[in-house]
Amino acid sequence: MTEQSMFGRLEDFISLAEKGETVDLTVVLNKQFATRKFDPYTMGDPEDEIVMYMLSADYVFTVGEEVREVTKYYVSGIEGESRDDTERNIYVANERLKMDYKRLKQAKIVFSEKFWSSQS
């Protein structure tokens, strides 16, 4: 599968499945943290830091003997934000995830759906 070894987007694997290839998929949801310093030309002191989080999904595709991982980021926020902001971000991320799940299912790719919750 040398041609597919360069594939790195969901669309690439959807296209393969639509052409009749057997595509197996496992989805792993992540919450990653990053610390960001304020830019000296924006609000805040350059020594100040904010902790951001990003909700992402690792799509692990298997086609034949080859395994390929595609990571997609769905939303970011600030750690310690209001509960309403966090709930809204989780809602947005899950709605975006549902759109990708729908496309994958339409291509007949079988997988187990997972979603973020406010306890994540």
- Residue 102 CA, chain-centre distance (Å), reads 15
Give a yes or no: residue 68 inside a domain: yes
Report yes or no: 53 and 31 within 8 Å, Cβ to Cβ: yes
Give a yes or no: residue 82 inside a domain: yes
**What local confidence, expressed as pLDDT, does residue 47 receive?**
65
Average pLDDT, the chain: 88
Domain that holds residue 65: 3-106
Give a yes or no: residue 115 inside a domain: no
- Residue 24 CA, chain-centre distance (Å), reads 17
Where residue 109 falls among pLDDT bands split at 50, 70, 90? very high
Give a yes or no: residue 113 inside a domain: no
Structurally, the chain folds into a number of domains equal to 1
Q: What predicted TM-score, i.e. pTM, was given to this entire model?
A: 0.83
Give a yes or no: residue 120 inside a domain: no
Give a yes or no: residue 112 inside a domain: no
